[in-house]
């Protein structure tokens, strides 16, 4: 029998998955096979035996009552992974099973996430389910390459007059808001969220008090601000690992929007509490304490967090980080480190808060490193002139306040005195007010071009009106006057001034003795 006479059979082989699908299935299988158990509980950390996991991996622990909690690997003791729980640690026993669920933190992101309030895991906490059209992204990404960062050359309108004029910011810039407790950092963030011209806003509330979350959303952010925002919350009562993860989550959401070509505003309140949470984790993992008790991992993570924002060829993330300075010391380690990492700093003054000047931004202590590249030469000269007036007044404030300065002695001081109140009025703004960028810059330019005499006359007229409001609004007399008098009325002393009588030599000598 020849081969041509043999029956022919067609074998139908099953289709093989592609390479990416196979790798994903293998990775999932490997993850679910990695299991261990609790060997020891030390403080707020767990030692796991019988499994290996990389730093940053997410594990799930099943307790004896059947409940589960998630944790992140933050280090090793010998060969045992050290797990920091991301939820409240309770009812944990030695021998409880632990399994590796992911080798890095993941979350789901999409445009429909706007208007939602989520936790550090990306789970909703506003009582509504997540939209179904979200896609998974890695929460811990590497910063963009330095050569993929184009120059920042476009102004970001913040709606805050003092920032748009004296501290102009650009799309993709990183700014720190430095202040002590109770000075008004969160309120300023609310103004930025409402007034900024950004496509999307991501707000990270790290280590805040629980009552402040609802207040910020309802009062500072408002319904219109929330509609284009994603709020990530990890309050002060949450475990340190969750507070750290919330900062990465907020940054990852902003990155996902930026990759879609949008200009994003990231508001992180506060990066100091992020550093404090990492200090807890670092010390628990066995790191040595260094400056003010902060371990080396804190100063390693701060640049990683900041460098993930900024402008790329796809879009931009403009980031404002609030920095809670301990004891109003602007040179404490976290504040000092961030000033060197950021593209500018805004200093809030407790003294200006006490004077009811809002926002309480100390212009002379604040700086936008990119302002000179964002505004033209004329506006730059205007801003420099305004800063000079503020600096001259501050240098001579003591002489002026006690009345020791004599008007006309120094032209620069005279100009600073004349400009002080108009500048203060221009840079003061209500918390619910949004100031257009063009209008703010035009008002500052017009103010700097006014003659000193005109400023003094305008302020004198305003002071008179403030002291006697009725005279400022009183209507002019409509009756005809004759010889400077109203018919049927006695002559007014203001209309007929009395001549000045010459002083006698004895009166002049007495005046000289008093002055001496």
Please state, in angstroms and rounded to a whole number, the distance separating the CA atoms of residues 419 and 464: 18
Number of continuous H segments (helices) and E segments (strands) in the chain: 18, 17
CA 61 from centroid of its chain's CA atoms: 35
Are the CB atoms for 360 and 184 separated by under 8 Å? yes
CA 329 from centroid of its chain's CA atoms: 19
Q: Is 311 helix (H, G, I), strand (E, B) or coil?
A: strand
* pLDDT recorded at residue 90: 79
What confidence tier does 515 reach under pLDDT thresholds 50, 70, 90? very low
Among the ranges given (84-93, 242-251, 252-261, 293-302), the one the predictor scored with the smallest mean pLDDT: 84-93
Please state, in angstroms and rounded to a whole number, the distance separating the CA atoms of residues 374 and 152: 8
* pLDDT tens-digit readout, 12-64: 545 555 544 554 554 554 444 689 999 998 888 899 998 889 988 999 999 88
> At residue 281, does pLDDT exceed 70?
yes
Domains of the chain: 29-104 (2.40.10.170), 107-373 (3.40.50.12240), 379-455 (1.20.1270)
Residues 473-490 have a mean pLDDT of: 39
Residues 66-90 have a mean pLDDT of: 89
Element (H, E) at 24: helix 19-33
Higher pLDDT, 277 or 208: 277
* Helical spans, DSSP H, in 113-184: 161-166
Rounded to a whole number of angstroms, the CA Rg of the chain reads 33
Q: Give the phi and the psi of residue 500 in degrees, each rounded to 5.
A: -80, 125
Are the CB atoms for 376 and 441 separated by under 8 Å? no
> At residue 88, does pLDDT exceed 70?
yes
> At residue 403, does pLDDT exceed 80?
yes
* pLDDT recorded at residue 506: 53
* pLDDT recorded at residue 36: 92
In this structure, how many other beta carbons lie within 10 angstroms of the beta carbon of residue 76? 16
Share of the chain above pLDDT 70, in %: 82
Please state, in angstroms and rounded to a whole number, the distance separating the CA atoms of residues 71 and 94: 16
* pLDDT tens-digit readout, 155-192: 999 999 999 999 999 999 999 999 988 888 888 998 99
Are the CB atoms for 400 and 407 separated by under 8 Å? no
Among the ranges given (9-23, 91-105, 293-307), the one the predictor scored with the smallest mean pLDDT: 9-23
Most confident of 93-107, 296-310, 442-456: 296-310
* pLDDT tens-digit readout, 313-341: 999 999 999 999 887 778 889 999 999 99
Higher pLDDT, 125 or 16: 125
């Amino acid at each position: 029998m020849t081969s041509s006479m043999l029956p022919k059979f067609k074998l139908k082989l099953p289709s093989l998955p592609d390479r990416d699908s196979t790798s994903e299935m293998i990775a999932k299988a490997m993850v679910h096979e990695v299991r261990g158990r609790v060997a020891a509980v030390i403080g707020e950390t767990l030692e796991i035996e019988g499994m290996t996991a990389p730093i940053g991996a997410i594990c799930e622990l099943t307790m004896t009552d059947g409940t589960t909690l998630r944790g992140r690997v933050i280090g090793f003791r010998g060969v045992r992974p050290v797990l920091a729980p991301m939820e409240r640690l309770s009812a944990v026993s030695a021998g409880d099973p632990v399994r590796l669920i992911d080798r890095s933190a993941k979350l789901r992101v999409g445009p429909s996430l706007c208007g939602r309030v989520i936790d550090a895991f990306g789970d909703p906490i506003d009582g509504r389910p997540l939209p179904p059209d979200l896609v998974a992204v890695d929460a811990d990404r590497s910063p963009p390459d330095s050569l993929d960062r184009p120059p920042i050359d476009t102004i970001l309108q913040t709606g805050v007059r003092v920032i748009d004029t004296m501290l102009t910011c650009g799309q993709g810039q990183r700014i720190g808001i430095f202040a002590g407790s109770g000075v008004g950092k969160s309120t300023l963030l609310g103004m930025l969220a409402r007034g900024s011209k950004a496509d999307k806003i991501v707000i990270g509330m790290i280590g805040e008090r629980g009552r402040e979350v609802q207040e910020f959303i309802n009062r500072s952010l408002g319904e219109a601000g929330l509609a284009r925002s994603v709020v990530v919350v990890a309050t002060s009562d949450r475990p340190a690992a969750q507070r750290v993860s919330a900062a990465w989550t907020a940054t990852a959401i902003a990155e996902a929007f930026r990759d879609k070509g949008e200009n994003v505003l990231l508001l992180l309140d506060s990066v100091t509490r992020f550093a404090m949470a990492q200090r807890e984790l670092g010390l628990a993992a066995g790191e040595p304490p260094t400056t003010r008790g902060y371990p080396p991992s804190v100063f390693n993570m701060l640049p990683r967090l900041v460098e993930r924002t900024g402008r790329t060829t796809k879009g931009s993330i403009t980031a404002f980080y609030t920095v809670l300075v301990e004891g109003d010391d602007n040179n404490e380690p976290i504040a000092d480190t961030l000033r060197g990492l950021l593209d500018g700093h805004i200093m809030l003054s407790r003294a200006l808060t006490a004077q009811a000047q809002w926002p309480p931004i100390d212009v002379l202590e604040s700086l936008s490193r990119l302002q000179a590249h964002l505004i033209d030469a004329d506006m730059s000269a205007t801003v420099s002139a305004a800063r000079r007036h503020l600096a001259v007044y501050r240098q001579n404030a003591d002489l002026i306040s006690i009345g020791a300065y004599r008007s006309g002695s120094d032209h620069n001081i005279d100009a600073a005195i004349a400009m002080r109140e108009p500048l203060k009025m221009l840079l003061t703004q209500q918390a619910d007010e949004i100031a257009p960028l063009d209008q703010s810059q035009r008002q500052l330019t017009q103010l700097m071009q006014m003659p000193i005499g005109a400023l003094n006359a305008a302020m004198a007229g305003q002071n008179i009106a403030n002291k006697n409001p009725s005279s400022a609004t009183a209507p002019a007399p409509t009756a005809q006057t004759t010889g400077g008098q109203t018919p049927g009325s006695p002559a007014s002393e203001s209309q007929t001034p009395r001549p000045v009588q010459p002083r006698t030599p004895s009166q002049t000598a007495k005046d000289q003795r008093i002055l001496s």
